[in-house]
Structures are given as structure tokens and as C-alpha cells.
């Protein structure tokens, strides 16, 4: 009986060791599966976020097209009205323009107010408007003086407004957005 009890104890210890091994293996499998699940969930969240952003972007573009039809003074989003002269300036122009790059350029303040009212009535959302007749831009003399100082510096630096191409009618909006920001070559 003592021998039987010892044998039962040994068998119980062996069974316990096997259970612990299986538990450790299952724990590792669980951790691997949990990590895979977390990655899949992150991908799903990213896709949903991308879809929402695309839907918001589409809604905004449709709203701008509608505004252009209703109000002849609407020019469009600043980001769509200008572009860097070279691809290497893309990031610099985007950063310098900041949130104003998504603003809608309009001919005058009244047009901006009418557009805001229309967006409210249609419950489309909100937007920032840049009225060409009243936005404050840097003093042209100070801009020219700064440009001259930069050119004498071996052309390593340029004004951001000088690396953006756009129609002359929206140049004021570009100047408002980027001001006298300097871009390094």
C-alpha cells in the first residue's frame, strides 16, 4: 500500500508535469494567436478609418463642386489650385501651408459667408474659406527684401511661395497660407 501510494504519487507528478507542459504550450499558442488577432484588428481599424476618410473626402469634394455651381466666386480648395514646382518640395509646401491647404478659396468675404450659410442649410459640415479680397498677406516689400537676402546666401534657401506654381488670381491665398516661410534646398 505504501508502494501503491508512492506509485500513484509518481504517476500524479508525471501527469501534473504533462499538464504543465501542455499549459505552457497552449499559453504560447494563445499569445501567438492573440498577437495575430491584434494585428488583424489593427488592419480592420485602419481600413475602416481609410474608408471613413475617403467618404469624408468625397463628401467634401461633392460639396465644393456644388458650391462652385451655386456661387461663381468659389475657386476651389487651395491644395487643388496650386502645386509645388518640383516634387522635392511637396512635403515643405504641405507643412508650410498647414490646415490652410484644405481651405476653400473664394473671391470675396460675402461669397464665403454665403457658402457657410449654404453648408449649414444643407448640413454638409464645415469648411474654412479664404476670401481673396480681405485676407492679410505679408507686405510685398518685406517679401522682396527677404527674397534678396536669401538669394545672396548662395541659393541654399528659397521662399516657399517661390516654389509653388498657381494662377495669379489665387496667389494671395498662397501667400496667406505660407507667408514668408523659408524652404531649405
Distances (CA, A) of 116 to 3, 67, 75, 128, 129: 92, 10, 15, 9, 8
Give me the pLDDT at residue 158, please: 80
The distance of Cα 20 from the centroid of its chain, to the nearest Å, equals 50
Q: Percent of the chain at pLDDT above 90?
A: 30
Q: Map residue 182 onto helix, strand or coil.
A: strand
The cell for 37 is 488577432
Return d(Cα 132, Cα 106) in angstroms, integer.
6
Cell of 79: 491644395
CB of 85 within 8 A of CB of 164? yes
DSSP type of residue 74: E
Please tell me the predicted confidence (pLDDT) of residue 155: 66
pLDDT of residue 153: 58
Cell numbers found for residue 143: 517679401
- Look at residue 154 in the predicted model and tell me its pLDDT: 65
Closest CA to 70 of 6, 17, 119: 119
In the chain, which stretches have pLDDT less than 70?
153-155
Largest interatomic CA distance in the chain: 107
The pLDDT score that the predictor gives to residue 71 is 93
Name the fold adopted by 75-184.
Taq DNA Polymerase; Chain T, domain 4 (1.20.1060)
pTM score, two decimals?
0.66
Where do the domains of the chain lie? Answer: 1-70, 75-184
pLDDT in tens, 102-140: 899 999 999 999 999 998 888 877 889 999 999 988 887
- Distance, in Å, from the CA atom of 19 to the CA atom of 23, rounded to the nearest integer, reads 6
Assess contact for 29 and 94: CB atoms under 8 A: no
Amino acid at each position: 500500500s505504501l508502494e501503491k501510494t508512492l506509485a500513484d504519487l509518481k504517476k500524479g507528478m508525471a501527469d501534473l508535469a504533462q499538464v504543465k507542459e501542455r499549459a505552457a504550450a497552449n499559453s504560447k499558442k494563445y499569445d501567438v494567436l492573440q498577437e495575430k488577432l491584434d494585428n488583424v484588428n489593427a488592419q480592420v481599424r485602419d481600413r475602416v478609418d481609410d474608408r471613413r476618410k475617403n467618404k469624408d473626402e468625397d463628401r467634401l469634394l461633392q460639396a465644393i463642386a456644388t458650391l462652385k455651381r451655386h456661387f461663381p466666386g468659389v475657386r476651389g480648395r487651395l491644395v487643388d489650385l496650386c502645386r509645388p514646382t518640383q516634387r522635392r518640395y511637396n512635403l515643405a509646401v504641405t507643412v508650410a501651408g498647414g490646415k490652410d491647404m484644405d481651405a476653400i478659396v473664394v473671391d470675396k468675404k460675402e461669397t464665403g459667408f454665403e457658402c457657410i450659410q449654404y453648408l449649414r442649410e444643407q448640413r454638409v459640415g464645415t469648411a474654412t474659406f479664404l476670401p481673396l479680397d480681405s485676407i492679410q498677406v505679408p507686405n510685398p516689400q518685406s517679401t522682396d527684401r527677404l527674397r534678396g537676402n536669401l538669394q545672396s546666401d548662395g541659393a541654399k534657401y528659397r521662399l516657399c511661395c517661390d516654389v509653388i506654381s498657381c494662377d495669379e488670381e489665387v496667389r494671395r491665398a498662397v501667400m496667406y497660407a505660407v507667408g514668408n516661410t523659408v524652404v531649405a534646398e
